[in-house]
Amino acid sequence: MLQRLSAVQSWTDLKRALESQFGPSPFDFPMSELFKLQQTGTIFDYYMKFMSLANRSIGLPDEALLKCFLSGLHAEIRRDVIVQTPTSLIRAVALAKLYEERYSPTIKSDSTPVRRYSPVYSASFNTSQQQSKPVVKAYLPPLLPKPSIPPLANSQVKKISPAEMQLRREKGLFFFFDDKFTFNHKCPNRQYLFLNLEEDSVDSNIDPPPDIDQPVINTEIGIDDHHLSLNALKGGIGVGTIRFLANIDKLPVTVLIDGGSFDNFLQPRLAKFLKLPIEPAPMFKVMVGNGNYMTAEGLIQQLIIQAQGNLFQMPVYLLPISGADLILGASWLKTIDPHVANYESLHLKFLYNGKFVTLQGDVDHVPRQAHLHHIRRMVNTNSIAEVYSMKMVDPIMPSFTSLELLPDIEPEVDLLLTTYALVFSTPSKFPPPRAHGHSIPLMDGSAPVKVKPYRYPHSQKEEIEKLVAEMLHEGIIQPSKSPFSSPIILVKKKDGSWRVCTDYRALNAITIKDSFPIPTVDELIDELFGATIFSKLDLRSGYHQILLNPEDRYKNAFRTHHGHFEWLVMPFGLTNALATFQSLMNDIFHGLLRKFVLVFFDDILVYSSSLKDHLYHLEVVLQILQRQQLYARFSKCSFGVKEIDYLGHTLSGSGVAMDCNKLQAVKEWPRPINLKQLRGFLGLTGYYQRFVKGYAQIATPLTDLLKKYAFQWTVTADNAFQQLKEALTTAPVLAIPNFSVPFVLETDTSGSGVGAVLSQENHPIAYKKLSARMQNQSAYTREFYAITEALSKF
């Protein structure tokens, strides 16, 4: 046929023609199909498909094929096979076929017909001589009805009807002999299976699974001979387990019958408490269901228990289990054969000492109220693993009003803020203990601070009494008998209300200063490169959310005209309060700072490059605040905006500019008439000197007026005043530095000072006013001084 289609003139042509005619399609991916293959029928069907794909998947190691085969098995079979830890694919196939019979009702054969032969039971496993011996005739157990069709006497293979097979499954019996099926059993007439297949058969040299010895106690015990199921280890009630109460020397114990565990195990603490005779156990380990190993601590040859009016005696090993007090495994179940277990109604029926006994398991485990003597007994027997205390409390929800969101806010941000509305509520309870409590360390030999209270106008006395009463009601202050005493003053807020501030200048003078680093505004703003969307949160009563250490409360006491009190929370005015608060903020936002969060005391800035990222970043911050029970003032917050005012600057995707409110204040600043007003003006403009090129030269006539007895307002000073106001109100938007791009530093000097400009990609980053003390030096010295000073400043 190939010759007719095309001429075949060489071996290469013949090979290519055969591959084209009979080989696999070039669009076929057997390795991909192998990884996706799942068992949908019998193990034989699955194995044939698996080997067909595996033979065409070149390059896969044996370990990968083994894992791939195990991953495609039925969940029940896969779990049992993995527990046996097969080391080869052939062994995994053999184990899977043995476990297949346990779950055969749930596994159906594939629709694809596969030719196979019935298994032949052979006394020897010799492939060269496949002579099968007649199987000893096995009679049905008395617990089962006789089948309607008697078995053939001369048949080499014992056959049972489907009805009989299903009945044996329901009663938990073996198919070919009268014995109760257990997880690890020993067949009385063990025979190896030999599958004679027509083609592509399973390798006949499959190693049979190892025999499992009878549960006799001896000194030659291996790890594989003893195991404990996961149900027995953790106390779970799964299929094949029955739990009930029994007594050992009148002590109630929990008994778990578990066929998945091989031996009988008792809690060592019970044996020691009851002073049972403990014998040294052979050195062996018990493999538990989670893959670990436990070591037996001893042996009790004859343990007597009383359960539901019956006495039972069995040998037990001592093992520190947590699932129950006593585990009765397969070795005990074998001693009561034959038996019938109904795991749906949780009862076990068997013949014991000439009479039928039924052990009824506990159906429901409802927690019961414990009395004092119960708890005392559990403590004495070391039975308590964990203790939890619960009590009924009335839910206390902080009161908060509905959030008045702006109409142009993004819907996603609106939903997020509504979800975390609790963060913007008013605190209604005492702040929780935190890792950062405020302490007041004093210098050695310091005497108690005692300052007389100030005289207050009559109009303020009522306000002081009102505010003190409110703070007493909130629980943030308490009456004091401390030898310390500091005065208070009233400070008016922007909204016209009053705030109590304590004058701690005398206390601060003898307080050891905390050197915790306080962030600088310029360094914070330098982190915002690439940010285009911002949110700002202003914490509510931030200082009052930190507790004072109890041993330092008496030091912050204050006096009014009507009483002596002390703060329980951190008040305003203490020298180390800023360091304590910044330390708390750095701690709770650890890992987020300089990534998408900036914190300057109680001002929190969240910045992102996109709205999607910003929603995630903002939710993380709100979660932290809610978990830490820190509250924000919603009226002072901004969310999801492209331009925001933060720390006196206006931030946007274009860069950083002066705050518009501060610009307006500069425009409306009247001409100074004394040194105090001049210092105020220079202090405001000096804060923004980085925005003004040549600030030092412009402000020189004004700074000269600060000298002693030199304040004389002249035309030169007035021109400098107006020129400085004009320079500030027209200041450029400075770019936020990108530290992955080189910087350009430009310096210059004049007769009255030196200056420098830091720029990047022709966009100024900052202007910096430098010292003017080098006026009498040469031009070269001043130029070099400008460079060194600029490098040290920037």
Residue 558: predicted pLDDT: 93
Q: Is the pTM of this model over 0.85?
A: no
Residue 143: predicted pLDDT: 42
Residue 18: predicted pLDDT: 75
Band (343; pLDDT cuts 50, 70, 90): confident
Answer whether 401's CB lies under 8 Å from 539's CB.
no
Q: Could you report the per-residue pLDDT of 538-572, keeping only the tens digit for each?
A: 998 778 889 999 999 999 999 998 899 999 999 98
Q: Could you report the per-residue pLDDT of 159-205, keeping only the tens digit for each?
A: 666 667 767 776 767 666 666 666 555 555 555 444 444 444 344 44
**Closest among 413, 384, 244 to 312, alpha carbons compared:** 244
- Range 771-775, long-range pairs (CB < 8 A, 24+ positions): 772/696, 772/700, 774/749, 775/751
The Cα 211–Cα 568 span in angstroms is: 73
Q: What mean pLDDT is reported for the chain?
A: 76
Residue 180: predicted pLDDT: 65
**Six-digit token pair at 778?**
């040469």
| Those residues with Cβ within 8 angstroms of residue 691's Cβ, 6 or more apart along the chain or in another chain | 657, 658, 728, 731, 732, 734, 767
Residue 544: predicted pLDDT: 85
The helix (H) or strand (E) run that includes residue 677 is: helix 675-687
**Closest among 690, 683, 725 to 706, alpha carbons compared:** 683
Residue 113: predicted pLDDT: 42
Residue 618: predicted pLDDT: 93
Q: Which of 93-107, 128-142, 645-659 has the lowest mean pLDDT?
A: 128-142
CATH architecture of the domain covering 655-792: 2-Layer Sandwich (3.30)
User: Which of 345 and 147 is assigned the larger pLDDT?
Assistant: 345
**Six-digit token pair at 491?**
């400070």
**Is the model's pLDDT at 726 over the cut of 60?**
yes
Residue 238: predicted pLDDT: 60
Q: Could you report the per-residue pLDDT of 273-305, keeping only the tens digit for each?
A: 888 888 887 666 676 655 567 777 888 988 999
| Those residues with Cβ within 8 angstroms of residue 419's Cβ, 6 or more apart along the chain or in another chain | none
**Is the model's pLDDT at 132 over the cut of 80?**
no
Most confident of 139-148, 403-412, 464-473: 464-473
Assigned CATH class of 411-649 = alpha beta
The Cα 776–Cα 48 span in angstroms is: 98
User: Which of 454 and 196 is assigned the larger pLDDT?
Assistant: 454
Average pLDDT over residues 19-32: 68
Percent over 70 (pLDDT), the chain: 69
Local structure of residue 629 (DSSP, 8 states): T
| Those residues with Cβ within 8 angstroms of residue 431's Cβ, 6 or more apart along the chain or in another chain | 544, 545, 546, 547, 569, 629
Q: Which of 60-74, 318-332, 376-390, 684-698 has the lowest mean pLDDT?
A: 376-390
- Three-class SS string for 688-704? CHHHCCCHHHHHHHHHH
Residue 659: predicted pLDDT: 78
Answer whether 179's CB lies under 8 Å from 190's CB.
no
**Is the model's pLDDT at 703 over the cut of 80?**
yes
Q: Could you report the per-residue pLDDT of 60-70, keeping only the tens digit for each?
A: 788 888 888 98
User: Which of 761 and 617 is assigned the larger pLDDT?
Assistant: 617
**Is the model's pLDDT at 386 over the cut of 70?**
no
**Is the model's pLDDT at 607 over the cut of 50?**
yes
Band (145; pLDDT cuts 50, 70, 90): very low
Helices (H) and strands (E) in the chain, counts: 23, 29
- Three-class SS string for 740-765? CCCCEEEEEECCCCEEEEEEECCEEE
**Is the model's pLDDT at 15 over the cut of 80?**
no
Percent over 90 (pLDDT), the chain: 13
Residue 608: predicted pLDDT: 92
Domain extent listing, the chain: 11-101, 227-360, 411-649, 655-792
- Three-class SS string for 448-496? CCECCCCCCCHHHHHHHHHHHHHHHHHCCEEECCCCCEEEEEEEECCCC
Q: Which of 93-107, 226-240, 258-272, 661-675 has the lowest mean pLDDT?
A: 226-240
**Is the model's pLDDT at 747 over the cut of 90?**
no
**Six-digit token pair at 311?**
């006495």
Residue showing tokens 């005990």? 332
Neighbours of 715 (CB within 10 A): 8
Tell me if residue 265 falls in helix, strand or coil.
strand
CATH topology of domain 227-360: Cathepsin D, subunit A; domain 1 (2.40.70)
Give the active site residue among 45, 80, 225, 258. Answer: 258
Average pLDDT over residues 13-31: 70
- Three-class SS string for 92-149? HHHHHHHHHHHHHHHCCCCCCCCCCCCCEEECCCCCCCCCCCCCCCCCCCCCCCCCCC
258 is catalytic: yes
Residue 233: predicted pLDDT: 56
**Is the model's pLDDT at 646 over the cut of 90?**
no
Residue 760: predicted pLDDT: 61
**Six-digit token pair at 642?**
């492209």
Question: Around 730, how many Cα atoms within 13 Å sit in the side-chain half-sphere?
Answer: 7
| Those residues with Cβ within 8 angstroms of residue 147's Cβ, 6 or more apart along the chain or in another chain | 140, 160, 161, 163, 164
Band (58; pLDDT cuts 50, 70, 90): confident
Average pLDDT over residues 720-745: 74
**Is the model's pLDDT at 73 over the cut of 80?**
yes
The Cα 326–Cα 316 span in angstroms is: 9
Q: Which of 566-570, 639-643, 660-664 has the lowest mean pLDDT?
A: 660-664
Burial of 554: CB neighbours in 10 Å, binned 0-12, 13-18, 19+: middle
Residue 625: predicted pLDDT: 92
The gap from C-alpha 273 to its chain's centroid, in whole angstroms, comes to 40
The Cα 696–Cα 751 span in angstroms is: 12
User: Which of 150 and 498 is assigned the larger pLDDT?
Assistant: 498
Average pLDDT over residues 601-621: 91
**Is the model's pLDDT at 521 over the cut of 60?**
yes
Residue 293: predicted pLDDT: 72
Residue 146: predicted pLDDT: 46
**Closest among 313, 304, 323 to 251, alpha carbons compared:** 304
**Six-digit token pair at 323?**
């699932």
Strand ranges for 584-663 from DSSP E: 597-600, 603-608, 638-641, 643-646, 649-652, 655-658
Tell me the CA end-to-end span of the chain in Å, nearest whole number. 87
